[in-house]
Structure 1
Amino acid sequence: MKKVLILGAGFAGVDAASYLRKMDYDVTLVSNRDYFYIYPTSIWIPTHENEFKDVCVDLKELQRAHGFKLIIDDVAAISQAENSVTLAGGEIINDYDYLIIAMGASKMKAPGIENTLSICGAPEQSLKIRDALDALVEKGSGKICMGFGGNPKDSSAVRGGPGFELLFNVHNMLKDKGIRDNYELTFFAPMAEPGKRMGPQALKMMDTMFGKLGIKQHFGKKIKQFEKDGIVFEDTSKLESDFTMFIPAGDGHDVIKKSDLSTNDAGFIKTDDYSCVLNDDGSMSNIYAIGDVAALEGYDWRAKQGHVAEVMAKNTAHNIEQRDNGGSDFKGYHEHLNILCVMDTGNGAAFVYRDEKRAFMLPLPVIGHWLKKGWGLYCRNSKLGKIPRIPGM
């Protein structure tokens, strides 16, 4: 039985482990935390609609469901030349046939970033956001600013959707409490048209939604630094804020940048369309990179999303099996590149879709919120093998 070592237990890593176990591989999963975190539903933790435990799936429960081996530790180093992985605890692993890197990305660090919290950062930050919002509710008034940034070296390393969702949910929460008029809500971003990658229709609808909800917009100015009481921009202007939620752009993982793996300018691992890291001579190595850790090639509007990571995971398991059986029917991720999400607003949602042929946003009043809630339950139970996976997902 061939051995596969998987680094990272996010959407990509967990799926790769489950698929490869079904193919009877000996799989070891390494994670720096003991739970799988459902980031898309974490937007409801700050508004008390979800508890932290509702967004976590115990990795030991996933281990029992799929039969992989589990190591809870940080990855300290990766060496392609030595075919080895060193863990923070000191263990060196080098007895694997294939290595799948699914460690996610690091975050760009703007000056004063410690004065912000991110809904896409460490899971514990969702609780800190909740506490900060609770303090402002108790205060009775305040200025709340939320936004996201981009990476000039890799346009795919941006995640703005959760920022939109969280602000809409906060608006809805304050409105339900009857105190919305006491708060100034502002969405900010350094780019002139944040959300443009979703398509022109979506961009127009977002602008309309901001106006309808009384949410101010502050776009098109580069961020110089974050301070405790606001955001300072490159032209020295300042946006005052009692609480700032900011989602930094993704950056190459620190461990990857220190490794001998080939990366793009932003530090993401270069692969072919089949998610395989190539040797210097162009041949396939025994290393695959999937999810946010990998350089995503393709359209200008491409974005790193969970469903793309899941496609990479499924295809990688298939491609490894093909190699071991002498086949060459490899599957790539590029044909599956699209933007797909249900953008929640707290009392409804909008279905957003874009591929190379079309781009649209479809409002889903009321039912959209419950559709996303239902997806959260589906995600948990399908990964535990309690319900079948929806074909294509």
Structure 2
Amino acid sequence: MPEIAIIGSGFAALTTVRELRRRGIDAPVTVISPRDELHYVPSSIWIPAGLRSADGLRLPLTRFLARHKVRFVKASVTALDAARHEITTDTGAVLRADHIVIAAGARFLKKLPGIENAIIPCEGIAAAEAIAARLPSIRKGTIAIGMATNPNEPGAIRGGPMFEYAFILDRMLRKDGRRDDVRMVFFSPSARPGQRLGERAVDRILAEMARRGIETHLGHKMVRIDPDRVVTEGGEIAADLILFQPGMTGPAWLADTGLPLSPGGMVRADEFCRVEGLEGLWVAGDSGSYPGPDWLPKQAHQADLQAKAVAANIAAQLKGKAPATRFTPELVCIMDSLDRGMLVFRRGRINLTLPALRPLHWLKRAFEHHYLRAYR
């Protein structure tokens, strides 16, 4: 019987498992990952405010994997032989599968000098805990929040959480009566950060920053991050707390696989989420570089849509049919500000933006509850 191996244990990997089983595929499935938990990072923005706890966002996968009859290998992938369909791990084990799904996520570029002096929020739940630990000590001073992209692949960016942190921290400081004494600055090499959301959304975001008194330092190339300042070609920002989201690239082990890679270091895929030119190799989520509009997002929702296409196409091949399911390019984002949320939706020619509304905050929380039911 054909075997399926999935590299990763995040959104794309687990959605692939669910969709394969939903389609009646009973082939052996192996998940390879160093982590046997799902970390629901989208809700980590609420950890500093106490709306969520770190433990509440770490979901053990033991029951989920057993329910779907999945073999779990706790290991990190170190190599992949595309011709032999063999995966090598840091335990020394070599696994072979007829279909291999690369859903290992991305890693953040850390070439900027001094980047270790900043907290990178989307690195995970621990980063949100670090922000929560630092914030109470800032009674006066400056918080600098910024984002950048991969210069070789402009779409390899996850900027939405940085806007959320700017608005959430502003709200928290106001509630504590500290906002007048804490300067906030948002910085980016882009003159209009967040352009994948659409021009109207960028206008709303920048207008909201101005309304809240969040200063902007935009359009200047970054030079370095010192312990107490952000240095750009357009000047310096002295700061007591620095949050910075760099651009993304693929997992380091991809470099020696011989897989087709994009200029930004991600696996090149077609509209069916197949690795270009290779049979039985698939990619879903942030590890891949896909055809589509220039606003194609790097976010959990898009990873889920790509995983659904992967599962549908593997199921088709196992039934002797050609892959026919294209992934849907779609951006859905509720940018939260602790008590309100701004909705951005893009699909095809549709680009909808709704202003910050209280019901959208609660919708984001309700979606989290709904999504995680499958893993509890």
- Kept in 2: contact 1:274–1:332 (CA 8 A): yes
SS in structure 2 at match of 1:277: coil
SS in structure 1 at match of 2:368: helix
- CA 1:176–1:61: 2 relative to 1, 3 Å: farther
Which string of whole-angstrom CA distances, capped at 9 and with x for unpartnered residues, describes residues 328-385 of structure 1? 351011xx2122111101110011112331323102422221111111111110x33x
Asked if 1:12 is matched to 2:4, the reply is no
2:322 is aligned to 328
- CA 1:174–1:65: 2 relative to 1, 3 Å: farther
Asked if 1:342 is matched to 2:334, the reply is yes
2:359 is aligned to 367
SS in structure 1 at match of 2:193: coil
**Superposition pairs for residues 266-345 of structure 1, below 5 Å?**
266-279=264-277, 284-328=278-322, 330-333=324-327, 336-345=328-337
- Kept in 2: contact 1:156–1:301 (CA 8 A): yes
Which string of whole-angstrom CA distances, capped at 9 and with x for unpartnered residues, describes residues 232-252 of structure 1? 1124x2111101011111112
1:204 is aligned to 203
Distance of 1:219 and 1:339 partners within structure 2 = 24
1:251 is aligned to 249
**Superposition pairs for residues 12-161 of structure 1, below 5 Å?**
12-22=12-22, 23-94=25-96, 96-109=97-110, 110-136=112-138, 140-161=139-160
TM-score by length of 2: 0.95
The code of the aligned residue for 2:355 comes to P
1:118 Cα offset (Å): 1.2
1:182 is aligned to 181
Unaligned 5+ segments in structure 2 are none
Distance of 2:116 and 2:218 partners within structure 1 = 22
1:21 Cα offset (Å): 3.0
Unaligned 5+ segments in structure 1 are 387-393
The code of the aligned residue for 2:206 comes to D
1:196 Cα offset (Å): 1.9
- Kept in 2: contact 1:156–1:296 (CA 8 A): no
Which string of whole-angstrom CA distances, capped at 9 and with x for unpartnered residues, describes residues 148-173 of structure 1? 10112112101110000011111111
1:101 Cα offset (Å): 0.6
- Kept in 1: contact 2:146–2:244 (CA 8 A): yes
Q: Percent of aligned positions with the same letter in both sequences?
A: 29
1:262 is aligned to 260
Which string of whole-angstrom CA distances, capped at 9 and with x for unpartnered residues, describes residues 28-61 of structure 1? 1111222111121111112222100222211213
Distance of 1:349 and 1:377 partners within structure 2 = 17
The code of the aligned residue for 2:218 comes to F
Q: How many residues align?
A: 373
1:134 Cα offset (Å): 2.6
- Kept in 1: contact 2:229–2:239 (CA 8 A): yes
- CA 1:205–1:15: 2 relative to 1, 3 Å: same
SS in structure 1 at match of 2:268: coil
Which string of whole-angstrom CA distances, capped at 9 and with x for unpartnered residues, describes residues 40-95 of structure 1? 1111112222100222211213213322111221111111123211111111112x
- Kept in 1: contact 2:105–2:287 (CA 8 A): yes
Distance of 1:113 and 1:187 partners within structure 2 = 16
2:216 is aligned to 217
1:288 Cα offset (Å): 0.5
Distance of 2:8 and 2:48 partners within structure 1 = 25
TM-score by length of 1: 0.91
SS in structure 2 at match of 1:312: helix
- CA 1:329–1:79: 2 relative to 1, 3 Å: closer
The code of the aligned residue for 2:296 comes to R
- Kept in 2: contact 1:107–1:251 (CA 8 A): yes
Which string of whole-angstrom CA distances, capped at 9 and with x for unpartnered residues, describes residues 279-324 of structure 1? 3xxxx51110111001122222222121111111111111111112
Distance of 1:176 and 1:254 partners within structure 2 = 42
1:222 Cα offset (Å): 0.6
Distance of 1:51 and 1:76 partners within structure 2 = 32
The code of the aligned residue for 2:108 comes to K
